[in-house]
Structure formats: structure tokens, C-alpha cells
Structure 1
Amino acid sequence: MLRGLYTAAAGMITQQRRHDTATQNIANLNTTGYKQVDSVSHAFPDVLIAAMQNGTTKNIGRLNTGVFAEQSVSQFLQGDLIESGKTVDFALSTDLQIVDPATNMPMIFDGSGKHISAEGEVTYKPQAFFTVQDNEGNKLFTRNGKFSVSPTGEVLSVGGFKVLDGNGQPLMLNGPEDRLKVDGQGYLIDNNTGQRSNSKIGISVVTKPMDLVRDGNGVFHVEDPEAAQIRFTDANDNMQVRQGYLENSNVDATQVTVDMNAAFRAYEANQKVIQYYDSSLQKAVNEVGRV
């Protein structure tokens, strides 16, 4: 009986975390560059059930002992681009590819940005990010291109982080921000000559985006950049910088609302189970025990 009580309690905790994840997504529905988070649940290890009779053991089957919310997975799909008209607002439009070594052709990714090989190996679609730097010199990655310019000419992100250039150094402007012009690859255009300069916005390609760790404020970091295979973009990448645009959140409001309601109903169901066990234990102690 107590095993069922613990199983229902584990279900309540899991559904609470699932509900919290859905409400977080809804709260950031209009947050620039926000990436939807999905809660992944897994079952506890199964328990082998056996019966003993006349000195012999007979296997009956396996029993699942509960569920737990193992992790939260970010969805890095492209969000809608919204025109702002501001020269210091930027958005990335990307469709990065990986060559499948088995076929020597570009991998085909599903709607969630995932490719599963014939052997069951999962590969996620590479993603591009603006590269920024915090006060400790750590590299961070964001899709929020709502930038500003400090009085000294430094380009800053929303959180006050320094935006890096293509060489990994803080991006500096030599003139007023209203004259800032960037081409589709992120290179700054010289206002006097109209030619592309050598300075560009630092845009990093994260080949394994699932290695990114969410820090809040719309930025991510990587524990092992080499394992995540991070590099700056080049001319071969199918990527375009859109000046005067911002990338909206990629949250699917309809699906997230359905998930939130489903988590709430499942939470209620597990709560009813706990109430049933509580009533049964009360009878066992107060009535059966009295006899």
C-alpha cells in the first residue's frame, strides 16, 4: 500500500515540475529570442516481482515504481522575425546543415530539429547565436539581438554583456549608432566608402546545441566548448543577419497551454490516489486495528 502512496507522490512532483515548465514558457511568450523548454519525464527502474511457494520462486513480472522529471530540454527552433526598424536590433535567420556520413548528403531534420539515423543515433540541428561576454570574460550565447551602444562605442546586449566581433573581441563602433549598417553576413559597412569593413558581429555556430546550459536573461553557456564544436560562422553557412528585426519567442502557445492543463489534471488524479490511500490507512489503524 505504501508503495502506491510513494508512486502517487512521485507523480505529483513530476506534474508540478511539468506545470512550472509550461507556465515559464507562457510567461516568456513575448520575450525576444526566448527558446521553449520541454520537461522530460522518465520512469524509476522497474522492480522484478516474484512469488515463493513450497520453497520455489516463480517470477510474476515487473513493477514500475514511479516517475520523475529528469531534465528540461530547450527547443532551439527558429522563431518568427518581427520588424522593429531600429538600427541596433538584429535577428538571425538560419538553416544550418550537417552532412550525413552514411549518405554524404545533408541530414534531414524533423520539425523539432532532430535527425535519427538508421542505427538510432540522434543528431540535433546546429544553431547560430550572437556571441557575448560577461564581466568575468566568459563567452555566452544568445538569440536576443536587441543591442545598445555605450558612450564609449561598445555594443552591449540586453543584459549589459559585451557583444563580441568575429575575432572574439568586444565590438566597437567608430560613429553614432544611427549610422550603423550591417550586411547579411554581419559585416559592418563603412559609412564613408559604403564598402564592407573587416569588423563583423561575432556569430557562433553551436554544432551540438543540446550542450548549451541556460543561464537566464536569454543567454546560454557551454561547459565544454570543444565537445559542443563551437566555431564562428563563415561564408558557407546558410545564415543571414537581419538588421532592424528581432526574433520572437518560439513558444507554441497552443501546445504549451494543452501541456499545462494536462499536467494539472494528472496532478489532481495523483492527489485523489493519495487521498484514497490516506483513507484506507486510517481505516486500517482505527477500525481494523481495534478488532
Structure 2
Amino acid sequence: MSSSMSSYLEANARQRIHALLDAGSFEEFLPPSLRITSPHLAQLDTPASFDDGVIIGSGLLQGRKVLAAAQEGGFMGGAVGEVHGAKLVGLLKRAINERVDGVLLLLETGGVRLHEANAGLIAVSEVMRAVLDTRAANIPVIVLVGGANGCFGGMGIVACCANDILMSEEGRLAMSGPEVIETTHGVEEFDSRDRALVWRTTGGKHRYLLGDCSAVLPDDIAAFRQAAFETLLRYQEKSAELTLTDLEAEHILLSQRLQNFGQFSEPMDIWSKLGVAEPEVLPMLEAQVFMQRVAGSRAGEQS
């Protein structure tokens, strides 16, 4: 992998998936040569992509067999339409049939493709169900978020249905994007032009401290590769299934979060409440230093 492709943020979807998996191991399903495109975009005279903005296939992750998908943020912001969603669902169903070691979802998306409206919404709901079916088959689903567009909308919910989310500081994760919040509730509620605020609120560091992601990684594909492998290994010792006990624990965590932090509008106040010393320095820390500094300060981990 050349130095120009070492950055997860700067790489495109195809570069990410090839660099993440063992060299030469990736086999793409439904490649662009088959020209499977969205019928809805054609009806609207909108440019299409021959892979509909998502690359899917099989490969090896340090010798473990996995299925993987990577959304292309450069095509409609990685938004999900009918074909795009069907490819993800088919991949997850194939994971169950083939009993692979895990599924990697490299998500970079604003959510549903507005051009396809209801078809996109249905597609996202089917992806959610497929993720949970995959977990019920004891196959872990690991989400990677580090692209420029972040992971928003319905796919943000999909990410939270997975076993683990790995993020870089540059990645962002939320239901509604900053521009959507500003448009619907006004700039006083959320100023989408305040980039520092956007990253403090939706970026990897804040998501880690709230317990929404498993790790904050450097902007480096090799770091994502190693973290994904280590996460996969953990599921050799524990079940990947989402149980009722897990759901009940999640509800307790969310209730505690609302009780403890509901009055705050500034993430740094939450970090301080979590016991982080000098929270104002966190945005400037490199990923490894950040992880060391906040050890034991995550929501739900305090005694």
C-alpha cells in the first residue's frame, strides 16, 4: 500500500477494502462490469454508478474468512438506495449461509438516498434486520467509520445494531447530520458551520466516551485492519448474538446517560462530568494518547 493510500480518510471505498483485507484475497461480488445500477436514478435522469455506490465481496483478514462491504462516499455521499441496500442485505445473508468468521461494514454515508425515498427507507430497514439475523447466527458484524462523510441517518442506526464500531477521530456518527438539525431547529440549536463543535458532538472521541464505539483509531488503514482483527478474535470467546439481557443493559445505559448528561449542550461538560481532567485538551490529542488519557472514564464504566 502506497503512502498516499495509508490514510483511511483520503482513500476511496475500493482502496479501503483492498488495503484492509489480506493482499490479493478480496473477491468482489456484483462488480461494476455487471452494470447493476439503480432503476430509480435512470428515471430521474440522474447519473448512476455501475456499483451503485457500494463494493461488496469476500476476503481474508489475517487469515480469517470474512465478507466485507465499503460504501463510496464520493457517489451521492454514500447514500443508500434500493440496489445499494439489496447488495448489503445479500452480503449479510451470504455470511450466514457460508458461516464466515465475521462481516466488516466500512460505512460512509449520509443515510437514505432522497432520490429513491421509500425504496431507500425500506432498504435500510432490511439491512438492519439482516445485521441482527447475522448476529443471531453468532457471526459478528463490525462497523468501521473514518470517512469524510461520517455515518448518519438510517445507516447510523445500522451501525449501532452491529457488535462493534471502530472509529477514527475524523469519523462521525449520529442519527441526524448537523445541517439537518440546523435546517429543522435553527442555527441556535446547532451551528453546522462550527466544525469544532460538530466534531466534539459527533466525532469518534465523543462517541467513545459515551460508550457508542469500541475504539478511537489513528487515521490509518493499517490501524483499522489491526483493530478489526483483534475485535474479530474476541468473538471466538463470546457470542455475537444480541440478547434480551443486552437490550435491557442498553436501555439502562441510555436512561443513565439522559439522567447524568441531559442538561448539558456542550460535549466538554459531559467529558468533565465523566471525570476527565482538562477536557479542553482532548480535541488536540492523537488517538493513542487520547485512549490512554481517558481510560476508565467512559459512560457506563464508572464504579
TM-score (normalizing by structure 2):
0.23
- From the two aligned structures, give the one with the greater helix fraction: 2
Which structure exhibits the higher relative contact order, with contacts defined as CA atoms closer than 8 Å and separated by 6 or more residues?
1
Structure possessing the higher radius of gyration over alpha carbons: 1
- From the two aligned structures, give the one with the greater strand fraction: 1
